[in-house]
Amino acid sequence: MAALRYAGLDDTDSEDELPLGWEQRTTKDGWVYYANHTEEKTQWEHPKTGKRKRIAGDLPYGWEQETDENGQVYFVDHINKRTTYLDPRLAFTVDDNPTKPTNRQRYDGSTTAMEILQGRDFTGRVVVVTGANSGIGFETAKSFALHGAHVILACRNMSRANEAVSRILGEWHKAKVEAMTLDLALLRSVQHFAQAFKAKNVSLHVLVCNAAAFALPWSLTKDGLETTFQVNHLGHFYLVQLLQDVLCRSAPARVVVVSSESHRFTDINDSAGKLDFSRLSPSKNDYWAMLAYNRSKLCNILFSNELHRRLSPRGVTSNAVHPGNMLYSSLHRNWWVYTLLFTLARPFTKSMNKI
């Protein structure tokens, strides 16, 4: 300690924090070096730990590396409209001689979608997100777009979808994002979407089946099916079937079905344990909005599991996910009672970007 104090290296609280007069820099090929402005010298080893470090991953999306007139590298943050000579990847350095990783949990309930995708490059990947103009779908679409993916917002309301596209482009003007019409309550619309998508002659690497209806009063779609069942499950089921060939050609590819823990509070079997189809699309007298939602989410999981069983040998995986205790979204908008309950629960829920 006496030697450190003499050298002026004990003034900081963290062993990785640089002492006064030192600066951390990076080379063009990603190695970290340290400049001692007091003695006007540089070295590869950290002045306190003696470790060598290198940059982990690519630049975050929205960032570009440029060179000034003096040949010095600087970085442009297009999202926040600023420039800096400090490499943003310095927050994600790794030791040149890394230690064995631990089993400590990497993500938790406060982790954002952007943090999970940090360092991932989705350039050249095509992603379709249904119901992407708001809520979970919007945050998912935005996160993929800001990490380089070509993202298609598949939405019923094109006015809101185009507004969502503009919001994403406002964060990063180079994002590759567009909107296409998809009304899951109309099977003909699902078919038209699939035809229009195939006409683009692009791959499909990720299909996120996110759109959902909740707490709807009983109604039948133009196809003669109960609306919650068709929007939440059957429309997505049909969409995946129509795009299955594209997914297989694009392998490795993935289908993500957004379900819910509420699937546990219902069943679709009769008293004899046999599948009761009348429960999937019930009549008005047998309809209860919450049960209809729960059953549609159960169908989501059963569908995802079977899809994975059939397509995983062809390089297409399927996962059903519960997004977490994220009650405060626009999903409750159809009945004031749910709006009140969700408002009261809001302090105990996750924010929209923590998906």
Q: What are phi and psi of 83, to 5 degrees?
A: -125, 155
Mean pLDDT of 122-146: 94
97 pLDDT band, cuts 50/70/90, is: low
Dist. CA 102–CA 238, nearest whole Å: 42
Please tell me the predicted confidence (pLDDT) of residue 235: 98
Please tell me the predicted confidence (pLDDT) of residue 190: 98
Catalytic positions, please? 293
Predicted structure pTM score: 0.68
Helix count (H) and strand count (E) of the chain? Answer: 9, 14
Dist. CA 267–CA 291, nearest whole Å: 9
Please tell me the predicted confidence (pLDDT) of residue 13: 46
Q: 74: which strand partners? A: 66
Q: What are phi and psi of 247, to 5 degrees?
A: -60, -45
Do the two domains 22-92 and 113-345 of this chain adopt the same fold?
Answer: no
- Tens digit of pLDDT for each residue in 150-200? 999 999 999 999 999 999 999 888 899 999 999 999 999 999 999 999 999
Domain limits, the chain: 22-92, 113-345
CATH topology of domain 22-92: Ubiquitin Ligase Nedd4; Chain: W; (2.20.70)
Residue 8 φ/ψ region, left for φ over 0, alpha for ψ in the -120 to 50 degree band, beta for the rest = left
Q: Residues with Cβ < 8 Å from 113, sequence gap 6 or more?
A: 139, 140, 142, 143, 353, 354, 355
Residue found under tokens 């030192």: 22
- Tens digit of pLDDT for each residue in 241-296? 999 999 999 999 999 999 987 756 577 777 777 878 788 889 999 898 888 999 99
Residue 22 φ/ψ region, left for φ over 0, alpha for ψ in the -120 to 50 degree band, beta for the rest = beta
- Tens digit of pLDDT for each residue in 24-34? 877 766 778 78
Q: What DSSP letter does each residue of 38-82 carry, written as one string?
A: TTTEEESS-TTT---EEE-SPPPTTEEEEE-TTS-EEEEETTTTE
Which CATH superfamily is 113-345 part of?
NAD(P)-binding Rossmann-like Domain (3.40.50.720)
